[in-house]
Structure 1
């Protein structure tokens, strides 16, 4: 049985206790995946996501882990396999602080802080899930990127550089892992308001939406739908791509 026709396997979603990750976790559970809700902090919030999934008839468990730590990632993947089954779908979503910084004052440590989340963590996760995916004959890796790469925002230079590097990993992994039946893609959202944006003034949202060809803000469900497609059998021949989910905001 090939991956494209098999029953959905276990999906590991990092940073899934809130925000985009929580919505992605719920969507993949609705598609039939047992879902590992990975989180670094916020056990109560992670538990609520699991409860929602179970109440809807899905299968989920919460797993606490620091996905920037090599030993913690190895233990996470092993624990998920023991509790839900081998990981066949990995959604790399966890993120850290994204401070606005004067680009002329950015330090190497500022860059390292972003690279830790968007290069180190994805690399640790990919390497940890790879043996199981190879043994099963395939898998899906989806990285949550950003359209900030095209927006050229000077005060987000460190974040932008790390996000560009993250997608470069996607392309390299897609070529390297294709022979193993593993697809690797990036979903690059625009500004999608979630819990951490609750204090953003309404006028800022209106101004942003006015710049979007579709004339609205994006919704977390828009991002979750793109991820669900990429891990589905319908996307079995799609790899190395970067799908922007931003209403056309960065069109030339």
Structure 2
């Protein structure tokens, strides 16, 4: 089956490129987004103009009822979800350790623990029924970088990959693989104002000698979503050009 791919946070950035790449693989793609209706429609238009199938779906993927409505709508309009790409994210503020509050932690956990859990629970019954499925979480290499001003984000990303490992163990007997793709700094729209000196400094520490591109991440997701990765599960694949090799 495999079938329809649901990509959250897909109106822009990594999500948009991932959605387009999965459409090239022949999947109908649900472009899920919370804001940016025109951008989401643009992603759908690009997929359709290239001969693919896609529709846009607006939803708050941190809300239980909204997730239930989203997955029901996707299944009704495009077919059962066989691939789930958990990509949606929120603000990632840089905070001194003394300033971090429990609410700051909860804000990150909502996107990287609550939302993935709600989405997984919504799509897994159908995947089990068909005896196969793919779940790919978009993580981060921030775990290796241990940036002190990103402690809440880092903790949530670590928790997210722990979910991947637990789910891989639990869902493997049903033919469902679960993996994490962990990008390094991949400049997208929200980095438009990035300091050129910061970009140059980061690049100088990348063994492959360049910044990553969204397409690099999309290729890894496409592989994990495909039959080629049928025996890969519970893994965390860093897409950062070797930046965290040490």
Same fold (TM over 0.5): yes
Shift of 1:96: 0.1
Partner of 2:81: 87
Shift of 1:184: 0.1
1:60 to 54, 59, 76: 54
Residues 215-251 of structure 1, C-alpha deviation per residue, up to 9 Å, x if partnerless? 1000000000000000111100000000000000011
SS in 2 for 1:192: coil
TM score, norm. by length of structure 2: 0.99
Shift of 1:65: 0.2
2:31 to 10, 31, 37: 37
**Does 1:235 find its partner at 2:223?**
no
Partner of 1:3: none
SS in 1 for 2:57: strand
TM score, norm. by length of structure 1: 0.97
Partner of 1:194: 188
Aligned-residue RMSD, C-alpha: 0.7
SS in 1 for 2:97: coil
Moved over 4 A (4+): none
Distance 1:211 1:226 in 2: 22
SS in 2 for 1:209: helix
Residues 185-231 of structure 1, C-alpha deviation per residue, up to 9 Å, x if partnerless? 00000000000101112221111100101110000000000000001
Partner of 2:98: 104
Shift of 1:152: 0.7
Alignment of 1:55-204 (within 5 A): 55-204=49-198
